[in-house]
Structure 1
């Protein structure tokens, strides 16, 4: 019997990309990884991935019908990875697929998908949610927008990565729209949790006990519990930098403006992340909002 080698390639092996690399390697996939950070390359190699020096080299490891994951941060990085010098487009072949995982604007997703289609390359709009631990154990959420035939073709790969797969539509950009709605609420919830815990501290309450109450009462939110537990412990090692939700809430507000919608909380939450960045917290975990909001004003 001939053994079918299941292949995938990644450009971006950071917190989320690296977790997906490790998961697929563990499940027997042949994975190539490319990242500009030598530490991330070393981690990917330690997980069992082959290393590629450029996006083009990563794409060149793929066979017919395989998937190249783009797990960077911004739309400009996606464009550079795909179409810049040594870009993946130079090695991608018709029938292969690019899976776009960053949180970027719907318009950027649409443009990238159109450019890929010119070469016959499929695109899955696939933003992620849940954090590195859930990406590593396969329980993260994937918001998928692509033609059903493409999703069916890669069903085994998607199932290996996520037990929470949501097919949004066949239209590129709708995954991004869904992710921006989700992340706007995540940002609002995190700002609210940090504010509430800062108030609890000012009122002289025990923070651990207060959070115990919140987690079992109407104020509970996953992101509030996750981040405030770390904040109470003084753990601000970045799993998700302040700049990520700064970017995402800003994109969500832009999307709202584009359809003539203005809510009372989104713009304010986005401003809090921007202010925290300006206060020097950009490179810390977003749990650090607590340290910023607890400061006297």
Structure 2
């Protein structure tokens, strides 16, 4: 790494994704500020060596690069421009890195509004889940001017195993992330449907998992999510409601352009049904519970607070 000045970095949102990213930056030697409304999250980050605050405004004058790891474009805009937001305290020429899953046009509008204040924006949604966030092994799908990549290179390298540079224009990173979320959501819904079908047909769940993971029907999501079903542990790593949100964005952007996405629509319906049944705060694999007349391993749903559990 460079021996020159290293930027002071802020993370807004210390859910399972943001906390992992923030602690990865601390380990990499960055002076790192973390913002979250929850006292327990702030205490955890302080214990990990970070500087924790309750509002974005409290870190605004202390940081040069800020990553927003919140739920959507609306929350991103709120932590920047809303009450107790970063502006007007953020210094001109600062860099905001938007990591939320957003519609491309929302990111473009955000970039225009930040530019009016002399602030730069990098469109850089993330994938990999909480485990890879904590290990500094995320995938980052980023777009924006080359100068911003150069300026943030050390920060991004501390967070990711792979940073994809997807062009100079804001919105391309978000568009690729939406494709990823389309596939992730459809694959999780398909894995849940397949397991429910097999269990209803009398298959032993563990044996079924072992067979499918060694066969052509396997997918990364099947292999990663079905173990949650096998042990009946729906502690959220990425919650059902994340896919209600993300597939909703995918569906809305396609509907606006009159582009058909029938598989996305069906997967969104399944996640929405799970959420309506009270499963929204459980792990996304809990979508398997929408199927009637099957006996699932494990106990009843847990009541864990998902916070902001980020994306797949």
Band the TM-score falls in, shorter-chain normalisation? over 0.9
Q: Higher RCO, 1 or 2 (CA under 8 Å, sep at least 6)?
A: 2
Report the equivalent of 1:268: 266
Q: CA deviation at 1:85?
A: 1.2
Q: Which residue of 2 aligns with 1:286?
A: 284
Other structure's SS at 1:102 match: coil
Pick one of 129, 134, 152 that aligns with 1:136: 134
Q: From 161, 164, 172, give the equivalent of 2:162.
A: 164
User: Structure 1: where are the runs of 5+ without partners?
Assistant: none
The 1-side partners of 2:217 and 2:120 are apart by 42
1:239 to 2:240 alignment:
no
CA contact (8 A) 2:101 2:125 kept: yes
Equivalent position SS for 1:163: strand
Asked if 1:176 corresponds to 2:174, the answer is yes
Aligned residue pairs, count: 292
Alpha carbons 1:125, 1:146 under 8 Å: kept: yes
Instruction: Tell whether the 8 Å contact from 2:145 to 2:168 is kept in structure 1 after alignment.
Output: yes
Shift of 1:24: 0.8
| Matches of 1:214 and 1:166, distance apart in 2 | 31
1:118 to 72, 96, 116: 116
| Residues 115-147 of structure 1: per-residue CA shift (max 9 Å, x gap) | 111111110111111101111112211000111
Equivalent residues of 1:127, 1:142 under 8 A apart: yes
Partner Cα separation in structure 2 for residue 283 and residue 96 of structure 1: 35
Determine which of 63, 67, 70 is the counterpart of 1:69. 67
Secondary structure in structure 2 of the residue aligned to 1:60: coil
TM-score, structure 2 length as denominator? 0.90
Cα pair 2:38 2:54 within 8 Å, conserved: no
Cα contact 1:98–1:124 (8 A) shared by 2: yes
**SS of residue in 1 equivalent to 2:87:** helix
Correspondence for 1:98 among 96, 99, 123: 96
Q: Distance in 2 between matches of 1:131 and 1:234?
A: 19
**What is residue 10 of structure 1 aligned with on the other side?**
11
CA RMSD across the alignment: 1.5
> Separation in 1 of the partners of 2:135 and 2:125?
17
Shift of 1:262: 0.1
Q: Distance in 2 between matches of 1:38 and 1:166?
A: 34
Partner Cα distance (1:249, 1:9) in 2 = 28
Partner of 1:208: 206
For 1:11 and 1:58, locate their aligned partners in 2 and report how far apart those are by CA, in whole Å: 10
Matches within 5 A, 1:42-61: 42-61=43-62
The answer to whether the Cα contact below 8 Å between 1:10 and 1:58 also exists between their aligned partners in 2 is: no
